[in-house]
Amino acid sequence: MSSADNEGTGPEGPEDEGATPAAEQEAPPEAVSAEAEAAVPAEAEAEIAEPASAESTSDATAEPEAEPEPEPDPLRQPLLDLLRERLGDDLVGSEVAAGDIWVRVERSAWRRAGEVCKADLDMDYFCFLGGMDWLPAPDLSAEKVWDPDSEQPGEAATPAEAPTTYETGVAGGQTRFQVFARLMSTTSKVGITLKVDLDSDDPRLDSWIPVYRGADWHERECWEMYGFQFDGHPDLRHIYLPAEFEGHPQRKDFPLLAREVKPWPGLVDKEPIPGEDEEADATAGGET
Amino acid sequence: MTTVTEWQKEAYIAGQAADARVNVELETDGMTLNIGPQHPATHGTLRVVVRLDGEQVVWADPACGYMHRGYEKLLEVRKYPQITTLVNRLDWLGSFANEVPFILAAERLMDVEAPPRAQWIRTVLFEMARIANLTLFLGDMGVQLGAVTPVFYAFRDREYVLNLIEAATGGRFHPNYDRIGGLKDDLPKGWIDECKSTMQRVRNFCDEMEDLLLGNEIFNSRTRGIGVIPKHVALDYGLSGANVRASGVDWDIRRDEPSPLAWKDVEWKVWTHPDGDSFARYWVRLQETREATSIVEQLLDGLPAGPIMAKVPRIIKVPAGEAWVHTENPLGEMGYYIVSKGDLGPFRVKVRTPSFNNISILPWLLRGVYVPDVITILASLYFILGDIDR
Amino acid sequence: MSSVLNPLLGVDLGFGWLAAIKILAVYAVVPVGALLYVYVFLFKMVSHMQSRLGPMEAGPHGVLQAPVELLKFLQKEDIFPARADRRVFALAPFVVFMSTFLLFVIIPAGPRLVAEDLDTGVFFALAVSSLSVIGILMAGWASANKYSVTGGLRAAGQLIAYELPMVLAVVGVVMQAGTMSLQGIVHAQADGAIFGVDVIGNPYILTQFLGFLIFAIAAQAELTQTPFDMPVAESELVAGYLTEYSGVRFLLFFMAEFASAFAFAAIGAVLYFGGWYVPGVEGLAADILGPVVMLTKVMILGFIIFWVRFTLPRFREDQLQMFAWKYLIPLSLVNILATGIFKVAF
């Protein structure tokens, strides 16, 4: 762990990505997950929602052998089935794990998915709506200084060109931008996370205001932070930032100025913890 | 080096000046009034632009963001142990409660379970954060309505709670005490007895508030029937916590969701009220404060012995995955949606704060309301600016 | 007054000198009364009620805090809002203060210690106290601030609404005393008897308790104290019509408020509690004991006013108006009716 190490803690290569979930599966899942889901009446299932990334090759080799047979969640699986029945082909990806449901829908069915959830799944509570930018985070280590002229800041998984495929999270995803929303039912106390892919060049989506009025402010924030257009929103304007602000701050390529001016101290100036360098080196693996 | 150009800076200043001018010009058809951003009634820098017809509000538009610190962006460049420091400052009155859902989410992804003693102490501190937060509300609502004395009692009795939190964690307002896998330290000697006597003191305070404010006819006439929020509207907008329980929704995350914290091990009650007006919200929070004192006492009686911290690697690297954990914070439902890619820090954290949704109902709620009732409603909805603006 | 001062000073004061001394006396009493009220009630009583100590630094137990605050205000910069109407803005505090000063003219401190014992004493007092409404409206409008205008309008509505119950309540006393002059009312209470027992005279609180209640509530409203402090609702309008005032002008408003409280407490003491009368004391002793007794009664009534102020929340404007028009005025009319019937019957 020398301090002069230049390797960033940015996005790790695909090998590391695959190694971690595989290592997790080696550990005994049942005991830990039984404690974690104490009151869920279901039997223990897969403990973490694994990223369904299509690009990671080592994942494909590791998964089929080591993964235990997940048992269906009696509370949530019927909801998922009901959703699948209503939405049909528009339900593009899904995951029921760790006591939670994730569902990814087609962009054209976004509003209808909300309506189905509200009407059929009894999801009367609107929790939040947010955006995701799957562009790998820029490498902010060491003496890197923001160069406004370069297109791709820092080192990405595939340097010197914008990635065409992205490593996305649970329930998959093919584009850089995603919107995800969380709903809940106050009667059955079950929540659901809905995701939808947006077009990378022209991120637009139907507004959820006709379904849930509370989406108003959340969509405004999403537009402000990511630049997503919400069709049907009556009043898409800034909510947090001043009216003349240019740019969309939450996007990964919007620089965090404090880190541009001064690199992350945790990477550069890090001192080894006295007496435990060897142990730290052994567990940490390839980072500073 | 900054991306903000000179032109942008001037445009911003001009925009602010134009907004300020609204306050001075007297329009004859309805007066546009700025309540805030510097105003005694808004808990911080919230600005509500209202258009009045006489004393009635025609439309209202809250303009938040005066305290926006960019949490979601900041959290992306921090390591997991560093995040509790930042996250304390969202709801700064009950700040231990902000750390807990984040730590629980990280623990879920890491598949680490804190030892029982740590979970129980976490619950104790969580409930004490709730007490610290709600006692201020109980006094503060009096001040908004003109009764200047109860708030002094609130601050006086709250000091005892804050002293206890400081004794245990080192910080009155920003404890920064929760760690992935457990807690930073164990409780100091004599803390448990001191805590129990403080809980009795808080209960006395609640009784005092019930006499002084709840029973007062003027308070009743100022709050009953004011700011009624029907159940379906509340849920549509995502109101949570006492606001929605005061509208009759029987939902408390502590009871309804499995959580490693110790609420299932003690007996307590969820309070709801059918009315949905400002009085109901005050009443529900008063009962919740009492209930919190009872929870704390039960927990302290049954506190298990054992280690405070589970075995976690020195360098915390959370495996890849996504997790959503929410808890019943004093202000409502707070949750963190963590997207991890296996790094030292999260890839994306969506912070779901309760006050953001609680305030989003204002444009709907404030139509046709008198100006003094605007203040009553703002006081009864109870938000913290750090929570709204993240 | 001249019958006191002439033998005291050994000269025969002409009208001019007498008038000058009386004016100076009023000028002296008003700030002293205001400062006394400010210290005892605003600094100390409210602090102790709120389980804190209040100012303790300036002087022993903070007694010098009030005069020090006076000096502080005097040395502040005179600020006008840019769009304010300067002349009206500058004049408003003086209008309010003037009405307060005029109130002190008729308040008696002893059998011969009164600036001018007008025959229309009570009527004059009530008329003059309602002049402050003009000052408040001037202040609200001239500040060019929406909060101030709202505060000024609220104040005007409230003060006018609560004039009526006050006047009607006082009518009961006047009917019983048979005179509007304040000295006359004190003498009427002193010489009166309760069912033949004349040990303590006949303080009108005993017969006019309803009238006293209405008077006290109306006085609280006239002074814009909580629960009737909508015009200065601090948590809503910042400071209402006072928002733009600072320095000496704010000091004038502030002192006018407390001096008015002093004056209303004094008038209440005279009308209902017998004023400076001490049973069994006559002559020169009454001249000396009178002011002391009067001060005591004034402080007790002030205590009640401020105790209520610091405890209760405030009414909303429409609730306030409803209370005045629908409850207080009918009650005061009932009071007059009852007083009339009893006066004729007994």
Q: DSSP readout, C329-340?
A: HHHHHHHHHHHH
Residue with tokens 């929410």: B326
* pLDDT for the residue C202: 77
Judge: C50–B149 Cβ closer than 8 Å, yes or no: yes
HEC sequence for A245-257: CCCCCCCCCCCCH
User: How confident is the prediction along chain B (390 residues), in pLDDT tens digits per residue?
Assistant: 455 666 666 666 666 665 555 444 444 556 777 777 766 655 777 888 888 877 788 888 898 888 898 898 888 888 888 888 889 899 888 889 999 999 999 998 888 899 999 999 999 999 999 999 999 999 888 888 888 888 899 999 999 999 999 999 988 889 889 888 889 888 998 999 999 999 999 999 999 899 888 888 889 988 988 889 999 899 999 999 999 999 999 999 999 888 889 898 899 999 999 988 899 999 999 999 999 999 999 999 989 999 999 888 888 888 888 889 999 999 999 999 998 888 788 888 999 999 999 999 999 998 888 878 888 898 899 888 888 988
* pLDDT for the residue A36: 36
Q: Does C contact A via 3+ CB–CB distances below 8 Å? A: no
* Average pLDDT of span C97-114: 87
| Mean pLDDT over the full length of chain C | 85
Q: If 0-12 CB within 10 Å is exposed, 13-18 middle and 19+ buried, where does residue C295 land?
A: middle
* pLDDT for the residue C279: 78
CA B169/CA B192 separation, integer angstroms? 14
Please tell me which chains touch A, using 3 or more CB pairs under 8 Å as the contact test. Answer: B
> Which of B146, B141, B98, B106 is CA-nearest to residue B122?
B98
CA B145/CA C230 separation, integer angstroms? 10
Top-confidence residue, A265 or C205: C205
CA C215/CA C271 separation, integer angstroms? 10
Torsion of CA B14, B18, B19, B21, to 10 degrees: 140
On chain B, the residues whose CB falls within 8 A of the CB of A250 are 72-73
Identify from B123, B245, B322, B389 which residue to disrupt to test chain A contact, counting A C-beta atoms within 10 A and taking the largest count: B322
If you measure CA to CA, which chain A residue comes closest to B79?
Answer: A266
Count of B–C CB contacts within 8 Å?
85
CA B92/CA B77 separation, integer angstroms? 22
Query: How close A189 comes to chain B (CA, Å)?
Result: 7
If you measure CA to CA, which chain C residue comes closest to B32?
Answer: C146
> Which of B352, B354, B381, B353 is CA-nearest to residue B365?
B381
For residue C231, which amino acid is it?
Answer: P
Are the C-beta atoms of C176 and C301 separated by less than 8 Å? no
CA C98/CA C309 separation, integer angstroms? 25
CA C179/CA C74 separation, integer angstroms? 42
Token code pair at residue A116: 């189905």
* pLDDT for the residue C150: 75
Please tell me which chains touch C, using 3 or more CB pairs under 8 Å as the contact test. Answer: B
Among A251-265, B216-230, C272-286, which range has the highest average pLDDT? B216-230
Are the C-beta atoms of A284 and B315 separated by less than 8 Å? yes
Alpha helix (H) residue ranges in chain A = 14-26, 29-36, 57-66, 77-87, 110-119, 215-226, 257-261, 265-268, 277-284
* pLDDT for the residue B74: 87
For C182, the 3-state DSSP assignment is helix
CA B70/CA A251 separation, integer angstroms? 12
Judge: B236–A126 Cβ closer than 8 Å, yes or no: yes
Residue with tokens 């001060």: C295
> Which of C209, C174, C214, C228 is CA-nearest to residue C327?
C214
Among B236, B341, B352, beta carbon nearest to A212: B236
Q: Which long-range contacts (CB under 8 A, 24 or more apart) does A174-177 make?
A: A175/A134, A175/A199, A175/A200, A176/A133, A176/A134, A176/A135, A176/A200, A177/A131, A177/A132, A177/A133, A177/A134, A177/A203, A177/A226, A177/A228
On chain B, the residues whose CB falls within 8 A of the CB of A275 are none
| Rg, Å, chain B Cα set | 22
CA C288/CA C276 separation, integer angstroms? 10
Pairing of strands B348-352, B332-340: antiparallel
For A160, the 3-state DSSP assignment is coil
If you measure CA to CA, which chain B residue comes closest to C315?
Answer: B218
How many CB atoms are closer than 10 A to CB A175? 18
Judge: A213–B233 Cβ closer than 8 Å, yes or no: yes
Query: How close B203 comes to chain A (CA, Å)?
Result: 30
Residue with tokens 């308070």: B219
Alpha helix (H) residue ranges in C223-328 = 234-237, 247-273, 283-311, 317-322
Top-confidence residue, A271 or B335: B335
If you measure CA to CA, which chain B residue comes closest to A186?
Answer: B251
For C296, the 3-state DSSP assignment is helix
HEC sequence for chain B: CCCCCHHHHHHHHHHHHHHHHCCCCCCCCCEEEEECCCCCCCCCCCEEEEEEECCEEEEEEEECCCCCCCHHHHHCCCCHHHHHHHHCCCCCCCCHHHHHHHHHHHHHHHCCCCCHHHHHHHHHHHHHHHHHHHHHHHHHHHHHHCCCCHHHHHHHHHHHHHHHHHHHHCCCCCCCCEECCEECCCCCCCHHHHHHHHHHHHHHHHHHHHHHHHCCHHHHHHHCCCCCCCHHHHHHHCCCCHHHHCCCCCCCHHHHCCCCCHHHHCCCCCCCCCCCCHHHHHHHHHHHHHHHHHHHHHHHHCCCCCCCECCCCCCCCCCCEEEEEEEEECCEEEEEEEEECCCCCCCEEEEECHHHHHHHCHHHHCCCCEHHHHHHHHHHHCCCHHHHHC
Are the C-beta atoms of B41 and B139 separated by less than 8 Å? no
Among B31, B41, B373, beta carbon nearest to C235: B41
CA A235/CA A272 separation, integer angstroms? 52
C23 has a pLDDT exceeding 80: yes
Among C145, C235, C313, beta carbon nearest to B222: C313
CA A190/CA C6 separation, integer angstroms? 93
| DSSP H/E element including C94 | helix C86-103
Token code pair at residue B348: 């994306």
Among C49, C50, C236, beta carbon nearest to B41: C236
Are the C-beta atoms of C183 and C117 separated by less than 8 Å? yes
DSSP code for A127: E
For residue B11, CA distances in Å to B2, B199, C315 come to 16, 53, 44
Contacts for C236 with CB less than 8 Å, ≥ 6 apart: B41, B371, B372, B374, B375
On chain B, the residues whose CB falls within 8 A of the CB of C320 are none
Of chain C, the percentage scoring pLDDT greater than 90 comes to 22
Top-confidence residue, C211 or C235: C211
CA C128/CA B94 separation, integer angstroms? 53
Which residues on neighbouring strands pair with residue B114, listed in sequence order?
A: none
For C40, the 3-state DSSP assignment is helix
* pLDDT for the residue A140: 52
| DSSP H/E element including A179 | strand A177-184
> Which of C258, C250, C338, C248 is CA-nearest to residue C298?
C258
Identify from C311, C312, C320 which residue to disrupt to test chain B contact, counting B C-beta atoms within 10 A and taking the largest count: C312
Are the C-beta atoms of B273 and B375 separated by less than 8 Å? no
Identify from A40, A122, A124, A128 which residue to disrupt to test chain B contact, counting B C-beta atoms within 10 A and taking the largest count: A128
Strand ordering across the sheet containing B47-53: B31-35, B47-53, B56-63
Judge: A256–B74 Cβ closer than 8 Å, yes or no: yes
CA A104/CA B153 separation, integer angstroms? 52
Chain C residues touching chain B at CB-CB below 8 Å: 46, 49-52, 83, 144-147, 149-150, 226-227, 229-230, 233-236, 238, 310-319
* pLDDT for the residue B271: 93
> Helix %, strand %, coil % for chain C, to 5?
70, 0, 30
Judge: B1–A212 Cβ closer than 8 Å, yes or no: no
Are the C-beta atoms of B144 and B375 separated by less than 8 Å? yes
Query: How close A242 comes to chain B (CA, Å)?
Result: 7
> Which of A161, A73, A35 is CA-nearest to residue B113?
A35
Judge: B236–A20 Cβ closer than 8 Å, yes or no: no
On chain C, the residues whose CB falls within 8 A of the CB of B218 are 227, 312-315
> Which of C122, C160, C143, C124 is CA-nearest to residue C253?
C143
CA A193/CA A100 separation, integer angstroms? 8
Among B24, B40, B216, beta carbon nearest to C313: B216
C-alpha triplet A205, A209, A213: angle, nearest 5° = 145
On chain C, the residues whose CB falls within 8 A of the CB of B211 are none
* pLDDT for the residue C262: 93
Pairing of strands B31-35, A229-231: unpaired
C-alpha triplet C28, C31, C36: angle, nearest 5° = 115
On chain B, the residues whose CB falls within 8 A of the CB of A148 are 3
If you measure CA to CA, which chain A residue comes closest to B264?
Answer: A39
Judge: B23–C316 Cβ closer than 8 Å, yes or no: no
Judge: B238–A169 Cβ closer than 8 Å, yes or no: no
Judge: A239–B360 Cβ closer than 8 Å, yes or no: no
CA C168/CA C131 separation, integer angstroms? 18
Judge: B76–A182 Cβ closer than 8 Å, yes or no: no
CA C13/CA C9 separation, integer angstroms? 9
Among B8, B235, B260, beta carbon nearest to A244: B8
* pLDDT for the residue B206: 93
Token code pair at residue B284: 């529900």
Are the C-beta atoms of B73 and A245 separated by less than 8 Å? no
User: What's the pTM value of the predicted model, to 2 decimals?
Assistant: 0.81
Judge: B335–A127 Cβ closer than 8 Å, yes or no: yes
